[in-house]
Amino acid sequence: MSEKIHRPDETFYVAPKEPPASRRPPALTIGPVGWLRKNLFSGVGNTLMTGITISLIVAFLYELITWSIVKADWNVVNNTMRLMMVGLYPIDQIWRIQLIAVLLVFLSGLGVGVWGGNARGFFIISLIIIIAALIIPLGAERIEPPSIRFIVTSTDPNGPILFVGDEGDTVGLTVEPIDDNAVAKQESPFTGFIENSAGASSSRALWNNAKAQVVAGKLDLSQYNLQMTVQLLDSKGKVLDESLSTPAHRVVNFEFKLPANGWYIVQVLRDDTGDAIFSSVDGLQLPVAAARALPNTGFAWVRIDGVNAMSAQQADVEQRTKTYGGLPTIQCPSTAECRRQLLEENVRYEGSRTFKAFLKTQLDPFLAEIIQALIVGFVVMLVAYSLGNFAKQSRNPASKKLVSRAAIIGWVIFFPLSWMLLSGFKNATTLHPFLELPQVAQSLWGGLILTIVLTFVSLTFAFPIGILLALGRRSKLPIISLFCVLFIEIVRGVPLITILFMAKFIVPYFAKSLSDTELLIRLLVGLTLFTAAYNAEVVRGGLQIIPKGQIEAAQALGLNPFATNVFIVLPQALRAVIPAIMSQSVSLFKDTTLVSIVGLFEFLGMIELIVNGQQVYRPYQREAYLFIGVIYFIISYIMSSLSRRLEESGAGTVRKMRKA
């Protein structure tokens, strides 16, 4: 018998260090780690995609946030808030708009209170408050609103040269006629040109034109005989110093010590007529073009030494000085770079701002603008909500009925009341002289309030017209149906802008009285008809899903066609299409921007007027666009989430009926 050899591995089970794959516990699928694994890192491709997306998001958000805190200048928003929101509506009448906004918040709060509301309802309510707070800038009189002169684009290309100087600076001014053809033939004798706010590159165009002629040998600059007076003015237009060119000393050259911080004007006048002969504001060196077919004419270039910054508008310089205390210096290595800087950095704040400075110079003015309105809106909403909720929970059903009826009546009279408040009315009876509001011309309406007016008015009128068109299209009467089909298809086939242009240019021909109608009314008619055609198609979709049995049942009960439509078909069809109508309203709300092309200054048009018409704000277009983009987004989002909510809740009884 062989001795049993003791082999430990056979006798004892030694657990392997790693369990076999089949015995490993499954991957965690719950908790944050499980969630991450399932949703972000479920495979190689998924992980890769997550990585790429995260890096893109981080890069984008980092750029956006650092830019908006460190570099962006939101004062374009803060300073022009009133213009953006209510346009040129007279300041002393703004209380009417404030009243409308308060009413809006009150009715929203009451509605949510009575008819119930969940978290999303409150979310929407708070967004409404924010919008209302933006519309009612209670601190409006605190901020100096830009004057009318500012928003009307200057059509005068002979704007003077402006520059900023500090007290004690010595400014050297040189204005020299160009009479050497060789100089003109050089590739780039001058450092740069800059368009002024009129957008006319007139000096450059004139100079390029002249230069081409010199190169072609058609023009001899030495024949020109430009005599001029160069004046240095302070910001109030007082002449501080002036110098004349003579045939012997054709170069005007003088130095001047500035008496105070501020901005100064250089004006070059033709000696014989006293006309300003500048064509354009420019940088450090530029030709002064006066290519008029007169004996005393020609080109000159001007140089200003010892100056920090040059700009076209006083307010910008003042604003910048107030905000930052200092001014950046221009240093341009090349012509193009200089030109770009003059366009951009010269006026733009380009530095790094701390977060504290951001809060102080950017956010603080904005909050100061809306904080009062925000508080008022919040309080009003709270009161209205409590009132509604109190009535809802009270034991007496009559009180709930009363409040909900009041809310409905409130909403019904809200829109006509708002219109009356906005436009004002004359006392009709003379019995109540206090019942009189000064009328505000519709051309003064503008900004966000005009956008809202356009949207709601055209929606209100388009809805019934759309229903009629839809019924007409489905009608058995061939002429009516043909008319409706033609109308709907033609309107849907052409761009909205065509219809608006027609409303502006052709509608006045339709009747003598129409040519005196305000543009707003005409455009409203255009928008309404446009929306009605689209609504008609939506309503037609709703009509199509009504089972034929419904109509037959109505007929069996002896209802006439009118009653069948009004009491049986339409209620069901309209409930079914409410979500679609809402999303139609969102696109209408966005489409109202097109009226800015035909000359009404609604929200986007106002911004256009501010940032594009004005040299001061031109460099801040991105800030302005981003701001109004956010506002547009918020309002559209409220509307589309309402529509989605209605859709989810199954607004249509038809759907419920079908499911049953």
- What residue ranges bind another protein (CB under 8 A)? 39-40, 42, 46, 49-50, 53-54, 57, 187, 334-337, 339-340, 344, 476-480, 483, 490, 493-498, 501-502, 505-506, 508-512, 515, 555, 558, 586, 590-591, 593-594, 596-597, 604, 608, 611-612, 621-622, 625-626, 628-629, 632-633, 636-637, 640
At residue 292, the 3 state secondary structure works out as coil
Phi-psi region of 350 (alpha: psi -120 to 50; beta: other; left: phi over 0): beta
Cβ nearer to another protein, comparing 368 with 482? 482
* Structure-token match 């009341």, residue found: 417
Cα 324 to Cα 312: distance, rounded to the nearest angstrom? 19
Nearer to another protein among residue 400 and residue 655 (C-beta): 655
What is the distance of C-alpha 432 from the center of its chain? 41
The distance of closest approach from Cβ of residue 427 to another protein in the complex, given in angstroms and rounded to an integer, is 34
Quote the least distance from Cβ 495 to another protein, whole Å: 4
* Least separation in angstroms between CB 43 and another protein: 9
Q: What share of the chain is helix, strand, coil (3-state, %, to 5)?
A: 60, 10, 30
In the complex with another protein, the residue whose CB is nearer, 21 or 477, is 477
Residue 251 C-beta: closest distance to another protein, Å: 29
| CB of 39 vs another protein, minimal distance in Å | 4
CA–CA distance, 240 with 257 (Å, rounded to integer): 10
**CB of 135 vs another protein, minimal distance in Å:** 18
Region of residue 289 (left: phi > 0; alpha: psi -120 to 50; beta: else): beta
**Is the Cβ of residue 3 or residue 187 nearer to another protein in the bound state?**
187
What are residue 257's DSSP bridge partners?
A: 170
Nearer to another protein, 357 or 638 (CB): 638
CB of 12 to another protein, least distance (A): 46
Give, in order, the Cα–Cα distances in Å from 517 to each of 92, 184, 334, 513, 598.
26, 55, 54, 7, 15
In what helix (H) or strand (E) does residue 631 lie, and over which residues does it extend?
A: helix 621-648
Nearest to 281 by CA among 409, 344, 195, 359: 195
Which residues face 301 on adjacent strands?
176, 287
Q: How far is the CB of 608 from another protein (least distance, A)?
A: 7
Contacts of 551 (CB under 8 A, 6+ apart): 564, 568, 569
For another protein, the closer of residues 77 and 268 by Cβ is 77
* Sheet bearing 228-234, strands edge to edge: 239-244, 228-234, 262-270, 161-165, 309-311
* Closer Cβ to another protein, 250 or 340, answer by number: 340
Instruction: Between 378 and 637, name the residue whose CB sits nearer to another protein.
Output: 637
- Please, what is the minimum distance in Å from the beta carbon of residue 337 to another protein? 7
End-to-end CA distance of the chain: 87
Which of 129/594 has CB closer to another protein?
Answer: 594
**Nearest residue to 611 via CA among 158, 161, 146:** 146
Q: In this structure, are residues 75 and 349 in contact, taking their beta carbons and an 8 Å threshold? A: no
